[in-house]
Amino acid sequence: MMKTYLSIIRNCKVAQRWSFSHATRCALSPSPSFSSKWNCKMLMVRRMGTDIPTEDRTYYITTPIFYVNAAPHIGHLYSAVTADYLHRYKLLQGFNSRFATGTDEHGLKIQQAADAAGQDPLSFCTKVSEGFKHLFESFHISYTDYIRTTEERHRCAVEHFWTVLQSKGFIYKGSYEGWYSTQDESFLTPSQVGDAKDSSGKEIKISLESGHKVEWMKEENYMFRLSEFRSRLQEWLEGNPRAVQPERFHHAVLQWLQEDLPDLSVSRQRSRLQWGIPVPGDLDQTIYVWLDALVNYLTVAGYPDTHSQWWSAAHHVVGKDILKFHAIYWPAFLLAADLPLPQTIHVHSHWTVGGKKMSKSLGNVVDPLERSQRFTTDGMRYFLLRQGVPDTDCNYDDDKVVKLLNAELTDSLGGLINRCTAPSLNPAQVYPHFCTDSFPSQRTKAHEGRAVDEDYHMLDAVHALPAVVEQHYESVHVYKALEAINGCVRQTNGFVQRHTPWKLDRGDGRDQLWLDTILHVSLECLRMYGTLLQPIVPEIADKLLSRLGVKPEERSWAALDFLVKYQGKDCPFEGRALGPDTGVLFNRLERPNAEKGKPKKAKKATKVKS
């Protein structure tokens, strides 16, 4: 059943085609009724979102665990908000979802950072790890599990995992000679290394992929038989074309698998690396930090005792720089340990600043907490998810943040709720009644009501919106989902603007019914937008839905039943009191430079014209 469901989701385009052709059939029926067409579409939305047996509704999403050698920046936050929206979205759909994040605390890089700070490694790690926790809490990252690789439960899981690999013959004692990048904690083949000069003009070798310095190392250590897994990894990827998303990264992994795939060194001599988990039975060796780190996903799932329920539903969010570790090493380790492979690896690209990679030396690191003081945490979440594209790098720019948030949250969405709840238009402060005579659901009778063609198009677009958003949320094309929501918000604003409800004569019975209908339709649209936006901007969505009087238990995906009066059903919101007015939805932001020199005025969101 789960497989069937997933293939519906994965083949959403097919599902949509089905929906449209089915809807077309409905529309072509002798008496084309909009409500019957809607019922057909609703059927599809339901099937995609909610008709799955409870036992199959398990979802486990992870972020990479973050290195504690430096303070968090917007790139780290982006991995976290991506996983957070997926978790929140799955919860709305009624899934039993678990969401793990945490910190990666072992390895040479951390050992050196702690030394440089003159602190003992654990105190150093604890301090930075707390910093990440604080950042996530500030940004409402709703993780269910926070893991640190220095925890005892994790050491047990790693030791067990190692022992399994060794007992199955996949680990052997050998000797490694080659390039190593401490910054990336990665071994490189000669073709992955190039020449460069450091800041003092000295010739050095660097990783061609990351640009980080590499060093030649020669050590006795333990090797993992990675080379044996090439064809099984290829089969996995070819048989699961959606395992690594977006597609270009799936191709990239297949391409890597065509190249040299030597066995992997999975330990370092203890004399060089003390800060890590010792190899079971050989205290002279420390487990390679990537093997240690990757096992965190299993530790959280309850490995080695109780992991099967969660582990079979695992999905990873990772940045493109760590794809090789997640799409080659990790699946190979799992295959060797006879464990299921992750369902999906969602890959995202990077944030640059001024077109360059963020780095301390360039002084272009963007601190998310500092920015949240200016743009709010939801503002930053919205910007990152609205502007980030999984396939290509994105440039961060304060001015862009201000323009985008002012346009979409303050003016468009904020303006709409402001208009529809203004006491001048809605003195009773209720969800007004919908009048079928003013807005006939039978298109053939449209001429008897007040609605015009564009209004029917708007309703169609909003009605189709949950399926569109679902498709893009599933494929982590969040910007497309937000673009679609935004398009509908614009159409709803157009609807209100077109009918200028503030000009209607409240003394006239027909005008009053039409005014109520305009408000009812607009509030229904807003209810849809608020519900769909919950995973992206939880605070703003809560403010919006609370203002509409929508109760917490009425905010799930199953509640995305749009304008039921139009379908001839009773609307639970009709006549209900609106929630309290707690102020504008999103305050207008000042532009960083353009406003300089002008007298300072506290600007608020556009006020309703009424």
In the complex, the residues that contact ligand MSP under the rule CB under 6 A are 64-67, 75-76, 78-79, 104, 293-294, 296, 318-319, 321-322, 350-351, 358
Cβ contact 103:125 at 8 Å: yes
CA atoms 130, 131, 135, 141: torsion sign? negative
Q: Rounded to the nearest whole angstrom, what is the least distance from the CB of residue 68 to ligand MSP in the complex?
A: 8
Q: Rounded to the nearest whole angstrom, what is the least distance from the CB of residue 79 to ligand MSP in the complex?
A: 4
Residue closer to ligand MSP (CB basis): 104 or 219: 104
What are the start-end ranges of the H helices in 423-477? 453-474
Q: Rounded to the nearest whole angstrom, what is the least distance from the CB of residue 343 to ligand MSP in the complex?
A: 17
Taking the C-alpha atoms of residue 598 and residue 610, their distance in angstroms, rounded to an integer, is 29
Residue closer to ligand MSP (CB basis): 95 or 382: 382
Q: Rounded to the nearest whole angstrom, what is the least distance from the CB of residue 389 to ligand MSP in the complex?
A: 12
Which are the contacts of 228, defined by CB distance < 8 A and separation ≥ 6?
A: 170
Residue closer to ligand MSP (CB basis): 358 or 417: 358
Q: Rounded to the nearest whole angstrom, what is the least distance from the CB of residue 421 to ligand MSP in the complex?
A: 38
Picking from 571, 441, 439, the residue whose alpha carbon sits closest to that of residue 513 is 439
Taking the C-alpha atoms of residue 137 and residue 143, their distance in angstroms, rounded to an integer, is 9
Residue closer to ligand MSP (CB basis): 346 or 472: 346
Q: Rounded to the nearest whole angstrom, what is the least distance from the CB of residue 15 to ligand MSP in the complex?
A: 30
Taking the C-alpha atoms of residue 418 and residue 409, their distance in angstroms, rounded to an integer, is 12
Residue closer to ligand MSP (CB basis): 476 or 523: 476
Q: Look at the chain and count its residues.
A: 610
Picking from 472, 456, 581, 582, the residue whose alpha carbon sits closest to that of residue 533 is 472
Residue closer to ligand MSP (CB basis): 296 or 438: 296
Taking the C-alpha atoms of residue 135 and residue 77, their distance in angstroms, rounded to an integer, is 8
Q: Rounded to the nearest whole angstrom, what is the least distance from the CB of residue 298 to ligand MSP in the complex?
A: 11
Residue closer to ligand MSP (CB basis): 221 or 296: 296
- Cβ-based burial of 606 (10 A; exposed 0-12, middle 13-18, buried ≥19): middle
Residue closer to ligand MSP (CB basis): 44 or 300: 300
Picking from 311, 279, 318, the residue whose alpha carbon sits closest to that of residue 297 is 311
Residue closer to ligand MSP (CB basis): 294 or 564: 294
Q: Rounded to the nearest whole angstrom, what is the least distance from the CB of residue 185 to ligand MSP in the complex?
A: 8
- The count of other CB atoms within 10 Å of the CB of residue 456 is 16
Cβ contact 44:465 at 8 Å: no
Token representation of residue 443: 């298109």
Q: Rounded to the nearest whole angstrom, what is the least distance from the CB of residue 388 to ligand MSP in the complex?
A: 8
Cβ contact 384:81 at 8 Å: yes
Residue of minimal Cβ distance to ligand MSP = 319
Phi/psi at 314 (nearest 5 deg)? -85, 135
Taking the C-alpha atoms of residue 451 and residue 438, their distance in angstroms, rounded to an integer, is 7
